[in-house]
């Protein structure tokens, strides 16, 4: 639903898996870097910290439980911000949730729909041609880069939801397109509703999904409100150059927002953000121009039930 107050929950997506070390020396890679930047982002005003794990040797995305154990407990000791873990790596629901079930964050992300994922577009947008690690070039421009389809079947999604509900871990539903919102409705009805308020994140700007223009974002918001009414909290983010703009659109439309090094490493062409906290401060400053303020952690927890 539209936020009826002048506060907006800021999520900071700290490192992600779609951008790679060669794109920015400020992208946190090691557990200590991820923890430090996440804690600084929370101090700057982020109420939710969205986390991925990476191999500290070369920055490759991983779901290694040992690495998660270096990140989440250390971050819990540093901040009371809501910890949100990605659960996107793995061929089965159990694989994807292995780290989540081990370190038990407040909330885990469930990607609702499958999609032809144009990962190569991320490198093209940044004009990235030189890479420190061989895996990066293969990731964006190898033979399989045109073959990537995110495998989020109804069976896999249903199993993830059932596990998270059983374990009393919160759920953030990520929607790449309008049809995904209808899939959320199906899954919520299937389980007879959730214990916590419904929380839906609009992920826009990926080649293969809905783009970040205002018409599309309004359509996403109106669709969610038609299906869920006031029983849903919405958040908006874009990827690449559209990230900060999409966050502003979302804030003005009454949704919560997400920014961070996962989604975008450039403040403007040729100028890199030096930290996640810098991005949090920027969106807070932009919101302030419209008399909007970052939601404190306690308020965010009360709103979302995490």
Domain-wise residue ranges, the chain: 7-304
Q: Which residue has the tokens 């199906």?
A: 186
pLDDT of amino acid 2 = 53
DSSP state of 192: T
Q: Which residue has the tokens 């949704």?
A: 255
Q: Cα(286)–Cα(274) distance, rounded to whole angstroms? A: 18
Long-range contacts of 245-252 (CB under 8 A, 24+ apart): 245/212, 246/204, 246/205, 246/212, 246/217, 247/283, 247/286, 248/283, 248/286, 248/287, 249/212, 249/214, 249/217, 250/8, 250/202, 250/217, 251/8, 251/283, 251/286, 251/287, 251/290, 251/292, 252/290
Burial of residue 62 (number of CB atoms within 10 Å: 0-12, 13-18, 19+): middle
| Token representation of residue 197 | 């308020």
Torsions phi, psi for 28 (to 5 deg) = -70, 135
What is the tens place of the pLDDT at every residue in 15-57?
Answer: 999 999 999 999 999 999 999 999 999 999 999 999 999 999 9
Nearest to 54 by CA among 40, 35, 73: 35
pLDDT of amino acid 3 = 59
Other C-beta atoms within 10 Å of 298: how many?
Answer: 10
Other C-beta atoms within 10 Å of 14: how many?
Answer: 29
pLDDT of amino acid 4 = 67
Average pLDDT of the residues of the chain: 95
Q: Is 21 left (phi over 0), alpha (psi -120 to 50) or beta?
A: alpha
Are 287 and 34 contacting, i.e. CB atoms less than 8 angstroms apart?
no
CATH of 7-304, one of 1.10.287.1260, 3.40.228.10, 1.10.3470.10, 3.20.20.70: 3.20.20.70
Instruction: Work out whether the CA dihedral 178, 181, 183, 189 comes out positive or negative.
Output: negative
Contacts of 286 (CB under 8 A, 6+ apart): 244, 247, 248, 251
Are 46 and 84 contacting, i.e. CB atoms less than 8 angstroms apart?
no
* Helices and strands (H and E) in the chain: how many: 12, 16
Model confidence at 227: pLDDT above 60? yes
Q: Cα(92)–Cα(234) distance, rounded to whole angstroms? A: 27
| Token representation of residue 160 | 């993830």
Provide the pLDDT confidence category of residue 145 given band limits of 50, 70 and 90. confident
What is the tens place of the pLDDT at every residue in 55-110?
Answer: 999 999 999 999 999 999 999 999 999 999 999 898 899 999 999 999 999 999 99
Paired strand residues for 150: 115
Q: Which residue has the tokens 């490192």?
A: 15
Model confidence at 1: pLDDT above 60? no
Contacts of 166 (CB under 8 A, 6+ apart): none
Paired strand residues for 85: 51, 108
Looking at the chain, how many residues does it have? 306
Contacts of 227 (CB under 8 A, 6+ apart): 181, 182, 184, 185
Percent of the chain predicted with pLDDT > 70: 99
pLDDT of amino acid 57 = 97
């Amino acid at each position: 639903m539209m936020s009826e107050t002048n506060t907006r929950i800021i999520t900071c997506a700290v490192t992600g898996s779609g951008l790679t070390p060669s794109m920015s020396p400020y992208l946190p890679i090691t557990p200590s870097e991820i923890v430090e930047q996440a804690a600084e982002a929370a101090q700057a005003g982020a109420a939710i910290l969205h986390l991925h794990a990476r191999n500290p040797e070369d920055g490759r995305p991983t779901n290694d439980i040992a690495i998660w154990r270096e990140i989440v407990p250390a971050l819990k000791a540093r901040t009371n911000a809501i910890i949100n873990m990605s659960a996107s790596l793995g061929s089965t629901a159990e694989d994807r949730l292995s780290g989540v079930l081990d370190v038990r964050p407040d909330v885990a992300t469930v990607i609702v729909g499958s999609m032809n994922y144009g990962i190569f577009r991320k490198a093209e947008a940044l004009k990235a041609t030189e890479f420190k690690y061989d895996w990066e070039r293969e990731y964006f421009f190898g033979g399989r880069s045109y073959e990537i389809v995110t495998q989020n079947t109804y069976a896999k999604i249903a199993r993830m939801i059932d596990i998270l509900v059983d374990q009393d871990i919160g759920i953030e539903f990520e929607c790449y397109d309008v049809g995904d919102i209808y899939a959320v409705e199906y899954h919520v009805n299937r389980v007879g509703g959730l214990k916590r308020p419904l929380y839906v994140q609009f992920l826009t700007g990926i080649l293969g999904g809905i783009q970040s223009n205002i018409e599309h974002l309004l359509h996403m918001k109106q669709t969610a409100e038609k299906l869920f009414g006031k029983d849903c909290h919405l958040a908006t983010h874009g990827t690449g150059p559209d990230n900060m703009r999409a966050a502003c659109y979302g804030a003005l439309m009454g949704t919560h927002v997400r920014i961070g090094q996962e989604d975008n490493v450039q403040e403007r062409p040729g100028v890199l953000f030096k930290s996640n906290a810098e991005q949090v401060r920027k969106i807070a400053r932009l919101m302030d121009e419209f008399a909007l303020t970052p939601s404190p952690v306690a308020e965010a927890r009360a709103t979302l039930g995490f």
